[in-house]
Chains A and B, each alone.
Chain A
């Protein structure tokens, strides 16, 4: 058996570790933005059943706020947009494994920031109390004696339950359909929904038009890129800033979300 001094083993191990490390660094620094330009395609992950951000239109094409954003991004990076349908469960693995280059409609959390690099927010997303304009409701105290429809077990339900004063009648339905039906038929005076659901109702031009009374929670949508892909992130931030500046982002909000961008956006 060959005699190998301890120090040498250590040295070899260290060299190997270094190799592995640099290999990993090399992999991570292979720039996604370069790959996109090389292939001429940017793969964008979005929810395909999330109106009004993205959903199948009458012509069986996915359309919405997010698809228009995707087109803008594709234009900016000089590539073709390839829309990839994702789910809440698989989207972060898809991003990490490089099955998509970026994600749309992802809310910021510290936990996610450990695995995803976030851009600036590009779309408002919030939960609000909605009701007909003639109903005077400005804050939680005004909910007393009112009937309020929510989708049971959602964030809207728990938030409304938290702020509701004694004497507020929270009606819990199984799904958004129940909530919307209760509101439109006048069975509930108010409803607590996300601005996505609110916009979907408004898009149908109902006889009772829901108006936002006050917001409960806000968590704007960001874009996400693979952790550390700062060049792509900066490029995306430029797109967002440009759209804010020329007013096209506000137009998108009016078109799809039926509300102008919030003032602080």
Chain B
């Protein structure tokens, strides 16, 4: 084999890689929190909202789920300034990731809500609880317990897909790797290293969520 592996390029740039991994995790965290909150709101709207609001949610879900993430990102970053809305690269990235995660999240949460037997809601209402309380205290916890694994998967997919934000010069893990590669020409070593980092992040996130899930939802299923 003619190629000599040289991982010095990685060792020399470890700080950069850590920075990139940090950015990726931070973007994912913000998008996950906002995205899940919005997913719950969206799912509740599509279940019990007014007719026009339900159509709005459906249109949103269909629009986002049937267009590529990179196009959504470019539209927000390069397109919106023409309409007078200029977001920085990080803001645009968080917005695009949130918008994308929300579309998938709505469908997931809606499935969870629909799986909760109607009797649960009727019982709550019959006890004199207000609909608001019934939703947050009775339906939502059961709904989330139903679809928790799917939601976790979606968050991890969002993290992995966030590699695309390197295209608008956000210094996430992939952008850092591209940078190191363009300076050292060590393509194999660089991308091999970030493959491992992504894998490690995804596996540990899943493990963390699983543990948290066991705590959150014990006794509920």
Which residues of A does B touch, CB under 8 Å? 149, 152-153, 157, 171-174, 178, 181-182, 185-187
Contact = CB atoms under 8 A, between A and B. Distances in A.
A205 B41 CA distance: 45
A178 B79 CA distance: 12
A172 B169 contact: yes
B78 A182 contact: yes
B192 interface: no
Nearest to A188: B169
B78 to A, nearest CB: 5
Interface of A is mostly: mixed
Contacts of B81: 185-187
Contacts of A149: 169
A49 B74 CA distance: 26
Given A173-B168, A181-B78, A187-B78, 9 more contacts: A157-B182, A171-B89, A171-B169, A172-B182, A174-B167, A174-B178, A178-B168, A182-B78, A185-B78
Interface centre among B169, B178, B182, B183 (most CB of A within 10 A): B169
For chain B, what secondary structure do more than half of its interface residues adopt (helix, strand, loop), or is it mixed?
A: helix
A68 to B, nearest CB: 34
Interface in B65-104: 74, 77-79, 81-82, 86, 89
Contact of B89 (A152, A181, A187): A187
Nearest to B170: A171
Nearest to A158: B183
A187 B74 CA distance: 12
8 contacts: A172-B169, A173-B169, A174-B178, A178-B168, A181-B74, A185-B81, A186-B86, A187-B89
Contacts of B175: 172
A167 B161 CA distance: 30
A182 B86 CA distance: 11
B188 interface: no
A171 B165 CA distance: 12
Given A173-B167, A178-B167, A187-B86, A152 B179 contact: yes
A173 B182 CA distance: 12
A182 B169 contact: yes
A173 B167 CA distance: 6
Given A185-B82, A187-B89, A153 B169 contact: no
Contacts of A153: 181-183
A171 B167 CA distance: 10
Nearest to A179: B169
A178 B181 CA distance: 18
Nearest to A171: B169
Would you list the 8 A-B pairs with minimal beta carbon distance, nearest first? A153-B182, A171-B169, A185-B81, A181-B78, A185-B78, A152-B182, A186-B81, A172-B169
